[in-house]
Structure 1
Amino acid sequence: MTDLHKILVIASGPVGSAQPATSTAETDLTCRRLVEAGKEVIVLTSNPNIFRSHDKHIHYYITPLTTEFVSQVVRRERPDGIIASAGGQIALNVIRAISKNGLLNQFGVTVLGTSPEAIEQTENGEKFRKFLRHQHIPTPESSYVDNAQEALTTAGKIGYPVLMRRGQSRSIARTPAELSSTIDSSVGGGRILIERSISRFKSVQMVMMRDAQDTSVLLGSIESLDPVGVNPANTVVFAPAQTITDRDRTTLRAAARAALAALNIIGCATVSFALDPQSNDWYMLKIKVGLSWTSSLIARATAYPVAGVNTAVALGERLDAVMIGRDHSMTAAIEPGIDAIIARFPQFPRELQTGARLGPQLVAGGAIMTAGRTLESVIMQGIYLLGHDDKRVLSSEIREWDEDTITGHVIQANALRLPALWLALERGFTVRELSELSQINQVFIAAIGRLVDCLSELKTSKDVALLRDAKNFGIADSSIAEVWNMEEDDMRAQRIAAEVTPTYKALDALGLVLPETPTYYASYETENESEPTNLPGVVVIEPNGAAPWLNSAHEAISSTMLAAIREAGCTPILVGSTPRPLVYPGVKHYLLGATQEHLLDIIGLENPIGVICQTAGREGSRIAHVLRRRGITVLGSVPNRHGNRVAPQLQETLTQLSNEDWRICYDPAAAADQMATHLAIDAVADGETVAVLGILNSLEQNESRAGKVIAVTPPRKGAAKMSEQAAAVTVALAKQLQYVGFVHLDMVVSGNTMTVTFIGPSASATVPFLAKTLRIDCIALACHVLLGGKLAEKGISSGLLPQVEGVHVLLPVLRSGLTMAGSSVASIEQMGLVMGSDQTLGKALIKAFAAEHQPLSDHGTVLLEEGTKAGAALAPRLANLGFQIVGMDAAKTLEGVSLIVMDKPEIELRRRATARMVPLLNTVSADAILQVYEARAFALAQLAELSD
């Protein structure tokens, strides 16, 4: 489409319970392909972790991904074309809405790729099921109804169990009582889908690519560990599918091709199927248009550049004319092969790794990926990564489970199912018994059984052949050392002496696609496909923390750091288990957990000039100390493990900084002061100069840490003087501690007392957000100093870096998570972050909540905290704007409540608000927002009475 010059890309928004988002990497790859095609690109996103390119042909808007705001950008920029296939569910929702309201026709904007009409057919459940029936494609019996009574009647006809979908809620009901309960607690409203549950069927997904000339290829197949009924993003999945036959594969591929052709879907699409394990029956369940986590997984597994090809065919190119690979020697019309097994494991915050039931509702907050030659190795790596322990497979708490507890975890899909299966096999359960209890295919359980047997055999044998088998199964040195009752270093030396050492294999579609950013996995075969480059190497550690939302922020930092390392003339070497696509050419990625064993093996092969650990957050600090003990160069400062030793030194410096305006001290315990103003400061230092990236002010009193609460920059309260002093404190302390690299500092301000509660050399989750508020590339600055440069060489002096105008709000995206035993209210889980920017705090807050898809209404019912001075001051202002005010009696159900204003809500109220997606504001934020509403409100009053 050579006549299209300016293309608007709707990028990824926040991850939500029923709104999975694509990786920010997909947006970047899409934009790169558009620029290569000679296009000017406009990117819309609300994600602070988005990669920002230096390419002058790419322009960014930080804006809520809603119909209103996207429409404003369309009117302003007048693009020739628009791409929604890179932005996940939210982008699809927006494109459907703005195509229906006539905006695209009005301005002559072409939707590139799949048409809005086809997207509507796949996204509208009723239309999709009609389409399947018209095409004679098998699909489970289902019906849409308008109310709970009709739902109960329909379920009775279909037969329990049934799948219920309504709004953003998904659940399986096994009885009428369960169905009534799930409908009552559903979020989002709308018609109710009742569908026959096929929960014992295999869950298989086929990732396809199709062009406008009806050439379509199967990029890869994915199979879930758990059967249908558990959202594939909530469970372990494997690529390629492990238990389907060639006949199954051919049948499903043909059905997918026929469906895509009938709908005229152009680009990437994922087609979901259910296969009866006891017959040849199958059903098509869903077609998801565009890029998603499934396409990311296949892109990594096969080296097929899915995002780039998806963009090329959206622009009208033929698959057989699109050339892929590092040397552009292979056509995109191939069906890529794979000579390894890839697994994707869902991540849950550690406190949620319990027996809480997993179902069709998306509750996983992140994912990790493993690769290997054997099914055993990818499962074993996942168990280690999820347990954050490569020494003991099972925790002492799990080993204390009795038989009833084990059976319960095996029967019910939950985050502890893999450990439960392992323990059950150790306790004498058979593979067949466990398969019948769990409905998990025997192939997967048998693989776990071979791991259990291998570790058992190692207890009585140190045979080299058995050791090699154990390593090919992914069993860590630390686990073997534990079994052999010896130190890990001694075990490692013994393994190396026996010539049992890893080789690294590339994921390259059986050698057909040479990737620009190669990914390697460990094997114990003879040929090593990874060779050091001629350039000096720098290893970057990626996180695998217990809080998945933190991973996204640190992944954004490390990914941008890789580009800066490349620009500096070095080879970036990434070590981590990220499932997202790699963006920058010239990067080498070892798809392994950053354990001591793997790092020593990789460093021994690559001989890098150093390792950057600061990008991995707290996990990076632990790794840095391990490497330092080994004499390996860690680039940048490492946190002092005995912070109390430097406290007197810090206090002396802070006393010297005190003046008549500010008393400054150091006290970690002050972080618990909820009444104080909480600040978070990020900086980059070289030991002499300290560049302050920005200062965030937390706007909530229940939690001090920016990133977990609503925060704003520049700080709201006494912004100028307070910011100036906070920056001065950061500069002084970082200089004294001679920090190199990233620096993070927390402090609280109460009256004229400024108390430092934490300072350490690490990149915090707020760095990507602050990077969007700067006029300079702070990640490139950090890379420069980590590689030994000085900030003065870049013309940087100590103090606050130049900021862009406006007020910028960082908002945590909270969604309902797992429901714990004994509770009827789901837990709160942070899924990510969004940001809103404008000229005032109120407008920035309104944008941030719109970006989170919890828009703040300018009318409706407000639950207002009673008996407080702040609440009493807000009440008449709310009433004047037409809000109806209710008290705490409404807190039990939140029925009809559209907004909560409260400074110290109880956790149960927060959970109910999160489950019902009711925005919750404190009085400070409410005041700022009301100022916006009042400024645009018109006077409304009765006519004055006539005088006598």
Structure 2
Amino acid sequence: MKEKIKKVLLLGSGALKIGEAGEFDYSGSQALKALKEEGIETVLINPNIATVQTSEGVADQIYFLPVTPYFVEKVIQKEKPQGIMLAFGGQTALNCGVALYQEGILAKYNVKVLGTPVQAIMDTEDRELFVQKLNEIDVKTIKSEAVENAEEARRAAKELGYPVIVRAAYALGGLGSGFCNNEEQLDVLVEKAFSFSPQVLVEKSLRGWKEVEYEVVRDRFDNCITVCNMENFDPLGIHTGESIVIAPSQTLTNKEYHKLRELAIRIIRHIGIVGECNVQYAFDPASEDYRVIEVNARLSRSSALASKATGYPLAFVAAKLGLGYGLFDLKNSVTKTTSAFFEPALDYVVCKIPRWDLGKFHGVDKELGSSMKSVGEVMAIGRTFEEAIQKGLRMIGQGMHGFVENKELVIPDIDKALLEPTDKRIFVISKAFRAGYTIDQVYELTKIDKWFLQKLMNIMQTSEELHRWGDNYKQIADLPDELLRQAKVRGFSDFQIARAIGYEGDMEDGLLAVRNHRKQAGIFPVVKQIDTLAAEYPAQTNYLYLTYSGVANDVHYVGDHKSIVVLGSGAYRIGSSVEFDWCGVQALNTIRKEGWRSVMINYNPETVSTDYDMCDRLYFDELTFERVMDILELENPHGVIVSTGGQIPNNLALRLHAQQIHILGTSAKSIDNAEDREKFSAMLDRIGVDQPRWRELTSMEDIHEFVDEVGFPVLVRPSYVLSGAAMNVCSNREELERFLQLAA
């Protein structure tokens, strides 16, 4: 121990919200684990009951109170902690910590801020102070001006020259921000931004430049490492939380990479960060010119992504550094052999894709910009970019089976859709390629790097080869091994392959036919470890993913039926979020306690359940039928738990049961009886329980006949959904017909 501290107060992030979600449960849980390891008593303030960190045994004392200066002072008075940690609860905790410092509450009770000093936090959060600070070391920032009223904003925009971006200071997730091409747009946005913050920033727009991010760690002895660098698939102009993000960067030259790395280290040394932070850049690849967009002096959603992408436990290390340790004191807790002073090396590519739920809102603007609208994200791991992005597009679970666009997606004006990105932008690119657009044409409209577009074109070409083969042959057994292997390396699922070759008949049968043929041809995925060292040193890690670009498994399978597999919940969405992470973690803890090996399959980088030390084996991979079966065939477990992961595992129950998989707990048949409206209703009738009148409707004639019988209002809903997705109450015929058209 470097500091004589016996009790520490940690501030959580409170309720989940867009831009501040499960990643702070993950980072706070890791910090509490690090403190507990040091024998320090921990006090947590977090009113969110669905989180893992508020479970019994994670912190010594838990206060379900608002994270506000008033309540935090009351807890400090009662608990008398010697230290406080502000960096693990997102913007909520950071803003609260700054207020406690400025109001003299921390000094009054002699509470020491552990980790990054409050002055350094203020230097990164207040735009004017930030620019001044970076000017001191000749680091370029985007030209901007902090203003306090609309008149000042108009003057600043004129001086900077349109287009400009407006941002609210001390806000998260790009709240209250946007682009303005003229004064009229500026007036509207400035009014909105001032409703969130007393200070508004007007800055020059660099739309079209690359956006690159570095996660940096520094200890109090001024030792620094960059843990992960990431680049956005989308150019500047789309909030990083709205963008597909690739780690490590794929399109920077060695010179560019090291230039930005050196700058990141220089910046955080000058600001005085202790622990972890991220530096975001706008970068012009044509000239190597750059601007620093911002520095987050706290753990962020990007930190959670970087931690899961590299296997380097950022939050855990940041908490230890806050206690006064040096990087050289700490072991890398994944490898347990090397020091935490090693910069991770990656022999794979990671792709993060945001998940939106914009369909659940009426009249919402689906265009993406500088304000965050995504409610969750997925992380896909592969040995090729094509494999990773196709995996990721299946993981977001919005009816798409990979990059090759869905026939149902109707885009009247492709040029306009490429210029004005929405949540469907990647499928618009697919549509454009199908329509004959070249890589250069798509680049001119989107400014997405041509390297990424070329890789997407590779996927399209493989799809076309499969289509051509399917036009001449119909027998899956005749599908050439070479073409099948190429499709798998480029991320195609068995379902996608069946569809691409024009399989006639039930697609479930097509999937199984491709799967059986593939296995007969000896084309299997292999299991690889994430070890932070690119296999340069021997390491025994339980952090795994499957790929078709490999020849041998990194792990040994004993097949002793002593493991139990838990299926996770996938991406956060409205109606399915951190509560299922809690359920999964409790299941893993119980499995271990009962003496079984615990195995988790999940792909959400924001969760505690995807932490490397929560289970005996973690598969950071898809929750599709195909991938779950691949893993179960390797693991040969005692059984599978589907009930703790929400709707995704529930939907797999019957299909797994059909393959003779042992489902623990409620049987697949009982799950189906509860989820299928008709079976559920028949059961209620059998046991004499009243229910609203309903009918399964197959035609408009049926619908009108039923409505004539029961009258308005009526509720229209599908089976097998969570949180009322695609449900609507209709009060008249016009509403009913409009909703049914939308639902179709």
Assess same fold via TM > 0.5.
Answer: yes
Q: Which residue of 2 aligns with 1:537?
A: 563
Q: Which residue of 1 aligns with 2:684?
A: 650
Q: Which residue of 2 aligns with 1:504?
A: 527
For the 8 Å contact 2:568–2:584, the answer to whether it is kept is yes
Measured in 2, the distance between the counterparts of 1:513 and 1:304 equals: 16
Q: Structure 2 counterpart of 1:38, which letter?
A: G
Q: Which residue of 2 aligns with 1:571?
A: 597
For the 8 Å contact 1:273–1:284, the answer to whether it is kept is yes
2:446 to 438, 451, 463: 438
Q: Which has the larger radius of gyration?
A: 1
Is the counterpart of residue 396 in structure 1 residue 407 in structure 2?
yes
Q: Which runs of 5+ in 1 are unaligned?
A: 656-664, 671-701, 705-756, 767-948
TM-score (norm 1): 0.67
Q: Which residue of 1 aligns with 2:516?
A: 493
> Mean Cα displacement is larger for which, 313-322 or 42-51?
42-51
Q: Which residue of 1 aligns with 2:661?
A: 632
Per-residue deviation, 1:173: 0.5
Q: Which residue of 2 aligns with 1:378?
A: 388
Q: Which residue of 2 aligns with 1:138?
A: 140
Closer, same or farther: CA 703–194 of 1 in aligned 2, 3 Å: farther
For the 8 Å contact 1:43–1:59, the answer to whether it is kept is yes
2:548 to 519, 523, 527: 523
Superposed CA offset, 1:481-525 (max 9, x none): 112233221111111111111001111121359476513232342
Measured in 1, the distance between the counterparts of 2:214 and 2:693 equals: 52
For the 8 Å contact 2:494–2:515, the answer to whether it is kept is yes
1:198 to 177, 193, 206: 206
Q: Structure 1 counterpart of 2:601, which letter?
A: V
Is the counterpart of residue 339 in structure 1 residue 339 in structure 2?
no
For the 8 Å contact 2:335–2:531, the answer to whether it is kept is no
Per-residue deviation, 1:616: 2.4
Q: Which residue of 2 aligns with 1:872?
A: none
- Equivalent pairs counted in the alignment come to 670
Paired residue secondary structure (2:487): helix
Measured in 2, the distance between the counterparts of 1:57 and 1:545 equals: 26
Per-residue deviation, 1:423: 1.0
Q: Which runs of 5+ in 2 are unaligned?
A: 170-174, 470-478, 504-509, 696-712, 725-744
Q: Which residue of 2 aligns with 1:466?
A: 483
Closer, same or farther: CA 496–653 of 1 in aligned 2, 3 Å: closer
Q: How does 1:160-559 map to 2 (within 5 A)?
A: 160-166=162-168, 168-186=175-193, 187-326=195-334, 328-349=336-357, 351=359, 356-386=366-396, 387-390=398-401, 393-398=404-409, 400-402=410-412, 404=413, 406-461=414-469, 462-486=479-503, 487-509=510-532, 510-511=534-535, 512=537, 514=539, 517-532=542-557, 536-544=562-570, 547-559=573-585
Closer, same or farther: CA 668–559 of 1 in aligned 2, 3 Å: farther
Per-residue deviation, 1:125: 1.4
Is the counterpart of residue 66 in structure 1 residue 68 in structure 2?
yes
Per-residue deviation, 1:133: 1.8
Paired residue secondary structure (2:178): strand
Closer, same or farther: CA 247–177 of 1 in aligned 2, 3 Å: same
> Mean Cα displacement is larger for which, 92-101 or 585-594?
585-594
After TM superposition, what 4+ stretches of structure 1 lie above 6 angstroms from structure 2?
352-355, 757-760
Paired residue secondary structure (2:576): helix
Q: Structure 1 counterpart of 2:383, which letter?
A: R
Per-residue deviation, 1:309: 0.8
Measured in 2, the distance between the counterparts of 1:358 and 1:310 equals: 32
Q: How does 1:33-182 map to 2 (within 5 A)?
A: 33-51=34-52, 52-55=54-57, 58-166=60-168, 168-182=175-189
Measured in 2, the distance between the counterparts of 1:302 and 1:115 equals: 27
Superposed CA offset, 1:458-486 (max 9, x none): 22343322211110111010111112233
Closer, same or farther: CA 414–54 of 1 in aligned 2, 3 Å: same
Paired residue secondary structure (1:24): helix
Measured in 1, the distance between the counterparts of 2:683 and 2:15 equals: 42
Q: Structure 1 counterpart of 2:296, which letter?
A: K
Measured in 2, the distance between the counterparts of 1:493 and 1:554 equals: 33
Measured in 1, the distance between the counterparts of 2:515 and 2:19 equals: 46
Measured in 2, the distance between the counterparts of 1:514 and 1:78 equals: 42
Q: Structure 1 counterpart of 2:323, which letter?
A: L
Paired residue secondary structure (2:661): coil
Measured in 2, the distance between the counterparts of 1:356 and 1:9 equals: 37
> Kindly, what percent of the aligned residue pairs are identical?
26
For the 8 Å contact 2:311–2:334, the answer to whether it is kept is no
Per-residue deviation, 1:54: 4.6
Superposed CA offset, 1:388-426 (max 9, x none): 34389433331x434x2x222211222111000011011
Closer, same or farther: CA 83–703 of 1 in aligned 2, 3 Å: farther
For the 8 Å contact 2:531–2:541, the answer to whether it is kept is no
Measured in 2, the distance between the counterparts of 1:319 and 1:391 equals: 41
For the 8 Å contact 1:365–1:549, the answer to whether it is kept is no
Measured in 2, the distance between the counterparts of 1:523 and 1:567 equals: 35
Q: Structure 1 counterpart of 2:638, which letter?
A: I
Per-residue deviation, 1:447: 1.0
Q: Which residue of 2 aligns with 1:937?
A: none
For the 8 Å contact 2:351–2:379, the answer to whether it is kept is yes
Measured in 2, the distance between the counterparts of 1:17 and 1:558 equals: 22
Q: Structure 2 counterpart of 1:160, which letter?
A: Y
For the 8 Å contact 2:527–2:546, the answer to whether it is kept is yes
Per-residue deviation, 1:294: 1.4
> Mean Cα displacement is larger for which, 440-449 or 563-572?
563-572
Question: CA-atom RMSD, angstroms?
Answer: 2.8
Measured in 2, the distance between the counterparts of 1:414 and 1:56 equals: 40
Q: How does 1:5-24 map to 2 (within 5 A)?
A: 5-16=6-17, 22-24=23-25
Superposed CA offset, 1:97-154 (max 9, x none): 1011111111111110011111111111121111122221111111122322222222
Per-residue deviation, 1:454: 0.5
Superposed CA offset, 1:231-274 (max 9, x none): 10111001001111111111111111111111111001101111
Q: Structure 2 counterpart of 1:482, which letter?
A: R
Per-residue deviation, 1:647: 3.9
Measured in 2, the distance between the counterparts of 1:320 and 1:338 equals: 21
Measured in 2, the distance between the counterparts of 1:101 and 1:130 equals: 24
Measured in 2, the distance between the counterparts of 1:96 and 1:179 equals: 30
Paired residue secondary structure (1:63): coil
For the 8 Å contact 2:390–2:403, the answer to whether it is kept is no
Measured in 1, the distance between the counterparts of 2:58 and 2:30 equals: 16
Closer, same or farther: CA 587–765 of 1 in aligned 2, 3 Å: farther
Closer, same or farther: CA 143–389 of 1 in aligned 2, 3 Å: closer
Q: Structure 1 counterpart of 2:12, which letter?
A: A
Closer, same or farther: CA 560–56 of 1 in aligned 2, 3 Å: closer
Measured in 2, the distance between the counterparts of 1:496 and 1:759 equals: 34
Per-residue deviation, 1:15: 4.0
Paired residue secondary structure (1:41): strand
Measured in 1, the distance between the counterparts of 2:19 and 2:349 equals: 28
Per-residue deviation, 1:18: 6.1
Closer, same or farther: CA 426–340 of 1 in aligned 2, 3 Å: same
Higher strand share: 1
